Amino acid sequence: MKILRTGVLLIALSILLVIAGGAVGGPNGLKIALAVAVLMNGISYFFSDKIALSSSGAQPVSREQLPRLYAVMERLAGKTNIPVPKLYVIPEPAPNAFATGRNPQHASVAVTQGLLELMNDDELEGVIGHELSHVRNYDILTTSIAATLAGAITYLASMGRWAMLFGGFGRDRDNDRDGGGISALLMIFLAPFAALMLQLFLSRTREFSADETGARMVGNPYGLISALQKLGAYNNRIPTTAISPSTSSLCIVKPFFGQGTMSSLFSTHPPLEDRIAALREMTVVPQR
């Protein structure tokens, strides 16, 4: 059911992109948007991990450099029968972590220096369990594709607004008289909002699922609960400088960029209080 729901959401985002293209440029715009959707999905599939790691300044680390991190990662990856992801450290004092890659065979996990310094062994295990759950469930691919498609929809809508100011939507006047102009206008303003809502719904459900799966992977939720409490406290006062806003939806908690925070309604992450409450209600059966 989760795979089906994710597929439906990604298809809906692709359709929104094509419709927005049609609203901006008529039949030709629709064809261009379809080509863009295919291209964006391809780029996301093959290069989203490289883009996320490069934009955050993540550096690869060896077992000799960080034996503690490798020991936790190898132990949990072995329990779930997935390859050990490539490990990276981000030179960032704000504690955070994210996973990226198109599948478990091409996955990477990045943690900030601040997270390594802040977390004890149980908390680190909880964080890594959460990130490996994203890898195992292919969340890192679907989230990246969703973010790319949503960005393309927003860009097309912005182009449409400029086109409206300088001569219309690329449709003829007969279409305008038939209501096509009104439909295009509605699509230009509503498509980005619809894309945002679909992306946020996908991201939020994935975070709850990764929390639960990660706790079962570890064998108890207590390390992750403590880690989330620390992450929430420190990310409220230490601004993030390395991780870009475009990568923030991949992080275990929403980074703080030193600006006014948006309403939780439009956050890519569920409220930490809700995630912690859900973990406390769990009856954990360790995964075998």
Catalytic positions are: 131
Q: Report how far residue 181's alpha carbon sits from residue 189's, in angstroms, rounded to the nearest whole number.
A: 13
Are 67 and 90 spatial neighbours (Cβ–Cβ below 8 Å)? no
Residues 6+ apart with CB under 8 A from 56: 90, 92, 110, 242, 243, 244, 247
Q: Residue 218: how many CB atoms within 10 A of its CB?
A: 26
3-state helix, strand, coil in the chain (%, to 5): 70, 5, 25
Residue/partner pairs of 36-44 with CB below 8 Å, 24 or more apart = 36/152, 36/156, 37/149, 37/152, 40/145, 40/148, 40/149, 40/152, 41/14, 41/145, 41/148, 41/149, 43/148, 44/141, 44/144, 44/145, 44/147, 44/148
Are 93 and 237 spatial neighbours (Cβ–Cβ below 8 Å)? no
- Give the tokens for residue 6: 């994710």
Environment class of residue 152 by beta-carbon count within 10 Å: exposed (0-12), middle (13-18) or buried (19+)? buried
Please state whether beta strands 86-90 and 107-112 pair in parallel, antiparallel, or not at all (unpaired).
parallel
Q: Vertex 240, ends 107 and 55: CA angle to 5°? A: 45
Number of H helices, E strands in the chain: 9, 4
